[in-house]
Amino acid sequence: MEGNYNLFLSGEKPMATNPSVSPQLSQVPSQPLQEPARLSEGQRLVDTFFAPSKTFTDLRRSASWWAPFLIIALVSLLFVYVVDQKVGFRKVADNQIQLRPKQAERIDRLPADQRERVMAQQVTITRIISYAVPVFALIVYAIFAGVLFATLKFGASADVKFKALFALIVYTRLPELLRALLAVVSILAGVSGDGFNIENPVAVNPGYFIDPSGSAVLRALLTPLDVVTIWTLVLTAIGITCISKVKRGTAFAVVFGWFAVVVLARVALAAAFS
């Protein structure tokens, strides 16, 4: 009471007080939320291996995918060139045929001149497809991204853009470079071309250890259980949570659910043609 009386005599207006708001809180200025730091292409490439969430979150800002794709294409072409020079596509084609008993038996029954002509065609086709793998890879990436986009958009009501999802698929293929580089090192080190499988060149999955004369169905089942493949799938699921609002559990269910469908399709094809 005495304090208010003194204020009245001095001519100063009393301050309005709100008991629910402390003076300290009322004086703190509000700060805007800071956006994540933008990453360079080099940082994106490195962080894909060591801090993938940073790379995938940055895809919401820029869905550029040329840098990882060019690296994938160059390493792929290096691998194919080394195979061409050190193993030879005649051996590669012959080994591929041996993995398909029915086709091998049908070719063996042909007269010598026809058999040689068929093998020459197989060699040419195998070489062309091998060198064109980067082109086919883009098509596969687009299909995979399209399937995931439709599943997430209509199955999980996800807020996701196709271009960001496509860029994610390209970035998550980077670990596959390790498989190709290991194969190059093993070939240059003198690995035997007998039994060399260009589709499964290094021992990163159980299917690698199945003899060419073994069960094609079992090989089709075990080959996809690849350390590198599982790595890329985990990255894909993590990336989906970063570029959309999908929960991590849902993302993993979608990615590995489609993976299971692909594996079952491979097994069915192997059973039909083996």
Tens-digit pLDDT profile for residues 16-52: 444 444 444 445 555 555 566 799 999 999 999 999 9
With 90 as the cut, is the pLDDT of residue 12 above it? no
Average pLDDT, the chain: 88
With 60 as the cut, is the pLDDT of residue 6 above it? no
Please give the pLDDT value at position 57.
96
With 70 as the cut, is the pLDDT of residue 3 above it? no
With 50 as the cut, is the pLDDT of residue 113 above it? yes
Please give the pLDDT value at position 8.
42
- Cβ–Cβ < 8 Å for 131, 77: yes
Please give the pLDDT value at position 1.
47
Range from 22-31, 69-78, 90-99, 234-243 carrying the lowest mean pLDDT: 22-31
With 90 as the cut, is the pLDDT of residue 152 above it? yes
d(CA 133, CA 95): 19
Q: Name the DSSP letter for residue 100.
A: S
pLDDT tens-digit series, residues 121-137 = 999 999 999 999 999 99
pLDDT tens-digit series, residues 237-263 = 999 999 998 999 999 999 999 999 999
Whole-model pTM? 0.84
Please give the residue that has the higher pLDDT: either 102 or 41.
41
- Tokens at 41, concatenated: 């292409």
Q: Which residues contact 151 (CB under 8 A, 6 or more apart)?
A: 254, 258
Please give the residue that has the higher pLDDT: either 32 or 81.
81
Mapping DSSP to helix (H, G, I), strand (E, B) and coil, where does residue 101 land? Answer: helix
Q: Over the range 87-105, which residues count as b (16 or more CB within 10 Å of their CB) and which as e?
A: bebebbbbbbbebbeebee
With 60 as the cut, is the pLDDT of residue 169 above it? yes
Phi, psi of 196 (to 5 degrees): -65, 130
- Cβ–Cβ < 8 Å for 181, 189: no
Please give the pLDDT value at position 191.
87
Please give the pLDDT value at position 194.
87
d(CA 59, CA 41): 11
d(CA 39, CA 71): 18
Please give the pLDDT value at position 103.
84
